Amino acid sequence: MTTIFRHVIKMILGGVAGAIIFGALGFFILVSYGGNHGCFALADSIFAPMKGYESCGLFGLWIGFIIGIIVGVFFGSLFCRKRKY
């Protein structure tokens, strides 16, 4: 395989792994927050029929996915750089 193809594969795998990890963390953290304190108005307005821990959980899942993809692709690209030693 070519070097560029390996670079892209590592970035994709990093993005998927980051999305899964951060998505799960965001989901569980905001479900517990929404169940104890109620959710904030932004998440309730985005996920209209749901209130409380349900809307907070989905909001945390989506925010975790987005942050996880960004962080995962960044760290995936770090592992592809040429090392000078």
Average pLDDT (11-19) is 91
Q: pLDDT of 34-78, one tens digit each? A: 877 778 777 778 877 877 888 888 889 999 999 999 999 998 888
pLDDT at 83: 63
The rounded distance, in Å, linking the Cα atoms of 25 and 1 is 34
Question: How wide is the angle at C-alpha 67 spanned by C-alphas 80 and 8, nearest 5°?
Answer: 25
- Sketch the domain layout of the chain as residue ranges: 3-78
Band of pLDDT at residue 8, cut at 50, 70 and 90 = confident
* Model confidence, pTM: 0.80
pLDDT of residue 17 exceeding 90, the answer is yes
The residue behind tokens 């029929």 is: 49
* Residue 80 DSSP one-character state: T
- State whether residue 68 is helix, strand or coil: helix
